Chain A
């Protein structure tokens, strides 16, 4: 009888060790000494797009240099919260506590989403910390296009309205630039076709679009070598910033082409609205120093982003002039699109009725094991119990009960329910529960620096 009892002892010791480890890791998380200095914990830079996008790349370049210099003594961490035309991430920072630990890195899309009616807040709902770089925007056509400058293109749009197909999502910064251009040529109309990113490029090459707005970085990377055939290449016919850019000195600015439209996009760092002055100042200074470092300047050059810096009053004035420029223009759909939701709801309803009426499916003749009466009650109670444990578990996480406590408990009880509380499995279950949640926590928080609930 000694062998099983020994096994039992080993399991008991292991279980206790795991329990101690869990308690220790929890204690570590809670015991941080409070004081008034800023910053005391890592600062999150929220990027409202996927990892690997333009904004993300930009933020990560800044992050790399900020952490190398160790300017504030605390780490900067980039978190991606993509989706909803960048409003998921922006809303999170807007509603975050104004303590300087959550910042948003976002461009002028933040103005556009408000004007397009996606959300009811714009730059005014934030405290702008700094402008950290500007993006040059270009009008681009296929290289064998007959339009060699902006005026050609707009004249054609005036002569034959709605024939020039331009790729721009409604309410996007690109869309606003086109609206500005069209105002200068009364009667001119573009046919806007929603096509973002790489699709705009393929459509342009495939002759599905006549023109599109690209950032300098996109243009430089999509441009083919000069000896490629013209049908396989793209050509910028107008630069919307104040002066020609050294990377593409041959492209004339819109001002040189005697047009009033000027536009550029820029990356800004935003904080929650009530962030105190001293935190905003510390942050603005830190970002300014980073933008001065030669490493960052070199990296940004590769992305064709100019490291312009603005903060304080200068930044506020700049922003309000940008908002004004956007506001003058209206967003209105040009083509009547079918009301897709209504159509789909209709189709679903018709199909539902059809399914109910023609309920003579061959499958109903099959005898499924589900209908075994005697076990039916017991099994559905078990299912409901486990579902309840799951719901309580997620609710506990929602109410900020630490992951390290809620997870082992939920695994343990669920396992207990499924095994019908067989006593000899208690210890193993406990060990699995503790070991597994500890391992998960270590992998996510230590290795990938992602916070668990």
Chain B
């Protein structure tokens, strides 16, 4: 442990943390570019480097990018990853109401707290916690995904019916391509490029960024109604810690705990935490209009999923997300054997990973706090300069992910679809979450049904699976019951 710390504390080590985090924040904040892409592109550059330094750089990028996603989500309503969609719910309205600095400040505070809490678990309890991830069977995963879908439908819009429609439309559009369970191609209509289905990145960029850019362009023809930016310094007060303390800790724990589950965690950690925050809030109707609790819950959980997702990676060699699959590959290329014995075979590497996570979180906080002023100024750049550049980033980003223009066309089409859906008052967040989780739900349901010989009852008889369904029902009904109760009390 000391060795890892000593190597990290050298000027080179700290430089790499700073460089990686800055790059990550920067790239994560640009709509169209993502941390995954930057890590995949940087990986070959690190082959010649010392493996510990290589991992330091890559993990710093990872931490920076997840946090950077908050910036574009808050200021421009263009989330860079599915995980930061939830941040747009309250961050964007707040920034639009003239408080971009406060919104960002709260987000940074929550991100750091989330990162640090999950880091504590990563450091102390990685081994025992990782074991619990293997207890999850296919039906448990399926119910967890269904829970997340129901939750997003309740928090993403005003009408549950429209949200559900949007979610299932997302699931449907994730279906073309090769079926996970059977390996058959379906719904491709003979278009060979569709063999791989629609990719997440172009769909996400299209739905949010391209749609939002077109909307901004259309709006720019109208007389500008610029809201003055409130200047209140960093906009954080000591009392914030007291007011949001409970929410911070709860959301971080939820993020860590869900982040541990491979393949799902990063996407639904923030959805779940947001939903819990809303259900337990005394004024849930404020969520979605620029509510502080909403930003805090989303960002704390968001960053907590990183620490959570690193737990199975270092303890068992199981990647929790696409980024981590790339990190795992980096380990292999540098001659390590990720797996249950990584801890005993190369402890110095494991501790490098763990402590980088800590340092990168701190570096991220520093960088973001310093640049918050400049960032808020972003909203003032003339649109004629800003929008075409963001659009070009989107085109290049969609293209570079797998080097084909087909993805760029997909991006444009989904941009138009997003614009259409929003003018029909259909929320987009359930669509994207459905798009991401649909295939996971199908894969696990198929695996479960194969194991049970086509029997569906284990969904309700497996304890964990049942628990998730109950939590979903609970979170759905609590807000309704509470408002009924309040009505009843005010009447009597």
A residues within 8 Å of B by Cβ?
A: 50-53, 56-57, 60-61, 64, 78-85, 87-88, 91, 113, 116-119, 162, 165, 169-172, 191-195, 198-199, 201-203, 205-206, 208, 220-225, 228, 232, 299, 302-303, 331, 333-338, 340-341, 344-345, 347-348, 351-352, 354-355, 358, 361-364, 369-370, 372, 375, 378-380, 382-383, 386-387, 390-391, 393-394, 397-398, 407, 410-412, 414-416, 418-419, 425, 428-429, 432-433, 436-437, 440, 444, 447-453
The distance in angstroms between the C-alpha atoms of A331 and B181, with both chains bound, is 13
> Known contacts A171-B183, A383-B217, A444-B396: does B341 contact A225 (CB below 8 Å)?
yes
Contacts of B177 in A (CB 8 A): 84
- Asked whether A336 lies within 8 Å of B454 as measured between CB atoms, the reply is yes
Contact B405 A397 (CB under 8 A): yes
Chain B residues closer than 8 Å to A348, beta-carbon distance: 165, 168-169, 172
Answer whether residue B96 sits at the interface, using C-beta atoms and an 8 A cutoff. no
Q: Are B168 and A341 in contact (CB under 8 A)?
A: no
Task: Name which residue of chain B comes closest to A304, CB basis.
Answer: B337
**Interface pairs (24), CB distance under 8 Å:** A52-B330, A60-B47, A78-B44, A81-B404, A83-B195, A85-B178, A91-B195, A118-B178, A119-B195, A165-B451, A169-B180, A170-B181, A194-B443, A194-B446, A202-B134, A221-B339, A341-B186, A372-B222, A379-B222, A397-B405, A410-B388, A410-B392, A419-B384, A429-B384
> Would you call A53 and B329 a contact (CB within 8 A)?
yes
Nearest residue (CB) in B for A298 is: B335
On whether the beta carbons of B217 and A355 are closer than 8 Å, the reply is: no
A361-B450 in contact given A379-B219, A410-B392, A411-B388 (Cβ < 8 Å): no
With A88-B402, A225-B341, A387-B214 as contacts: A116 and B183 at CB distance below 8 Å:
yes
Report whether B221 and A393 are in contact in the complex, using a CB–CB cutoff of 8 Å: no
> Which residues on B sit within 8 Å (CB–CB) of A338?
449
Contact partners of B193 in chain A: CB under 8 A: 88
B40 and A80 contacting across the interface, CB-CB below 8 Å: yes
- Residues A351 and B168 in contact, CB atoms below 8 Å apart: yes
| From A51, A302, A433, residue with most partner B Cβ within 10 Å | A51
**CB pair A50 B165 closer than 8 Å:** no
Interchain CB contact under 8 A, A193 and B318? no
Are A193 and B218 within 8 A (Cβ)?
no
Instruction: Give the distance in Å from the alpha carbon of A94 to the alpha carbon of B263 in the complex.
Output: 32
A354 and B165 in contact, given A57-B332, A60-B44 (Cβ under 8 angstroms): yes
B220 / chain A contacts, CB cutoff of 8 Å: 379, 382, 418
Partner of B135, one of A170, A206, A378, A436: A206
- Interface pair B451/A363, CB less than 8 Å apart: no
Given contact pairs A56-B329, A351-B164, A425-B384, A220 touches B337 in the complex (Cβ within 8 A): yes
Contact call A335/B214, Cβ cutoff below 8 A: no
Residue numbers in A under 8 Å from B205 (CB-CB):
none
What residues of chain A lie closer than 8 Å to B333, measured between beta carbons? 52, 57, 60-61
> B450 contacts A191, CB within 8 Å?
yes
**Are the C-beta atoms of B217 and A398 separated by less than 8 Å?**
no
Q: Do A337 and B449 touch across chains, with their CB atoms under 8 A apart?
A: yes
What residues on B are CB-neighbors of A53 within 8 Å? Answer: 325, 329
Interface stretch (choices B66-74, B85-93, B155-163, B479-487): B155-163
B392 and A370 contacting across the interface, CB-CB below 8 Å: no
- Given A410-B388, A453-B405: A198 and B318 within 8 A (CB)? yes
Contacts of B262 in A (CB 8 A): 198-199, 202
Within the complex, what minimum Cβ distance (angstroms) separates B135 from chain A? 6
Kindly list 14 other residue pairs between chains A and B, CB separation below 8 angstroms, not including A57-B332, A61-B333, A393-B395.
Answer: A50-B322, A50-B326, A51-B40, A51-B43, A83-B196, A203-B137, A206-B135, A222-B339, A336-B454, A344-B172, A352-B165, A354-B161, A416-B384, A437-B392
Q: Which residues of B contact A (CB under 8 A)?
A: 40-45, 47, 131, 133-138, 158-159, 161-162, 164-165, 168-169, 171-172, 175, 177-187, 192-193, 195-197, 199, 214, 217-223, 262-263, 316-319, 322, 325-330, 332-333, 335, 337-341, 344, 382-385, 387-389, 391-392, 395-396, 399-400, 402-405, 408-409, 412, 416, 423, 425-426, 438, 442-443, 446-447, 449-451, 453-454
Does A52 lie within 8 Å of B326, measured CB to CB?
yes
Return the contact of B317 from the options A222, A344, A447, A452 (Cβ within 8 A): A222
Alpha-carbon separation in the docked complex, A331 to B158 (Å) = 47
Q: Which 7 pairs from chain A and chain B are nearest by CB? A: A52-B329, A83-B196, A419-B384, A379-B221, A84-B196, A84-B195, A221-B339
Contact call A82/B402, Cβ cutoff below 8 A: yes
Q: Give Cα A84–Cα B188 distance, bound, in whole angstroms.
A: 12
Cβ contacts under 8 Å, B195 to chain A: 83-84, 87-88, 91, 118-119
Q: Which residue on B lies nearest to A175, using beta carbons?
A: B183
Is the CB–CB distance between B47 and A64 below 8 Å? yes
Please pick, from B44, B217, B426, B446, the residue contacting A337 in the complex, using a CB distance under 8 A. Answer: B446
Most B CB contacts (10 A, CB to CB) among A56, A194, A416, A450 go to: A194
Q: Tell me, in angstroms, the Cα distance from A203 to B443 when the chains sit together.
A: 14
Question: Complex formed: what's the CA distance from A169 to B182 in Å?
Answer: 7
In the complex, A303 Cα to B336 Cα: how many Å? 10
State the Cβ distance, B153 to closest chain A Cβ, in Å.
Answer: 11
The verdict on A221 contacting B338 (CB below 8 Å), with A64-B47, A419-B384 known, is yes
CB-CB under 8 A from A390, the residues of chain B are: 391, 395, 412
Contact A194 B137 (CB under 8 A): no
Pick from B43, B221, B396, B453: contact of A335, CB under 8 Å? B453
- The CA-CA distance from A428 to B386 in the complex, in Å, is 12
Q: Which residues of B contact A386 (CB under 8 A)?
A: 214, 217, 387
Which residues from B are CB-within-8-Å of A85? 178, 183
**Cβ contacts under 8 Å, B222 to chain A:** 369, 372, 375, 379
Using known A-B contacts A171-B183, A418-B383, A444-B400, determine if residue A232 contacts B218 with beta carbons closer than 8 Å: no
Name the CB-closest residue of A to B182: A170
Q: What's the Cα separation between A416 and B430 when bound, in Å?
A: 35
User: Which residue of chain A lies nearest to B41 when distances are taken between CB atoms in the complex?
Assistant: A448
Q: In whole angstroms, what is the CA distance A303 to B403 when docked?
A: 28
Distance (whole angstroms) from the CB of A211 to the closest CB of chain B: 13
A451 to chain B, nearest CB (A): 7
The answer to whether B319 and A198 touch across the interface, beta carbons within 8 angstroms, is yes
Q: Smallest CB–CB gap between B436 and chain A, Å?
A: 15
The answer to whether A363 and B158 touch across the interface, beta carbons within 8 angstroms, is yes
The reply to whether A361 and B395 form a contact with Cβ atoms under 8 Å apart is no
A378 to B412, CA, bound (A): 22
Residues from chain A with a CB closer than 8 A to the CB of B138 are: 193, 203, 208
Q: Which residues of B contact A397 (CB under 8 A)?
A: 395, 405, 408
Bound complex: CA A430 to CA B362 (Å): 39
Contacts of A419 in B (CB 8 A): 382, 384
Expressed in whole angstroms, the Cα–Cα distance for A116 and B71 within the complex equals 45
- Give the residue of B186, B329, B403 whose beta carbon is less than 8 angstroms from that of A51: B329
Provide the residues of chain B in CB contact with A172, threshold 8 Å.
Answer: 183
A contact residues around B131 at 8 Å (CB): 232
Tell me whether A380 and B218 are in contact in the complex, defined as CB-CB below 8 angstroms, given that A355-B161, A407-B392, A410-B388 are known contacts. Answer: yes
Cβ B217 vs Cβ A418 within 8 A: yes
With A51-B329, A193-B451, A361-B425: A202-B133 Cβ-Cβ less than 8 Å: yes
A346, chain B: closest CB distance, angstroms? 10
Which residues of A lie under 8 Å from residue B341 when comparing CB positions?
Answer: 223-225
Chain A residues near B161 (CB-CB < 8 A): 351, 354-355, 358
- Residues from chain A with a CB closer than 8 A to the CB of B181 are 169-170, 194, 337
Q: How far is the CB of A135 from chain B (nearest CB, A)?
A: 14
Q: Which residue of A lies closest to B164 (CB)?
A: A351
With CB as the reference atom, state the residue of chain B lying closest to A444: B400
Q: How far apart are the CA atoms of A122 and B443 in the complex, in Å?
A: 26
Closest to B438 in A: A344
Residues of chain A within 8 A of B403, CB atoms compared: 79, 81, 450-451
> CB distance B325 to A50 under 8 Å?
yes
- Contact: A418 with B325, CB < 8 Å? no
Q: Closest B-chain residue to A88, C-beta based?
A: B196
Q: In the complex, what distance in Å separates the CA atom of A82 from the CA atom of B400? A: 12
Q: Cβ of A347 and Cβ of B168 under 8 Å apart?
A: yes
- In the complex, the answer to whether A394 meets B183 with C-beta atoms within 8 Å is no
B402 touches A83 (CB 8 A): yes
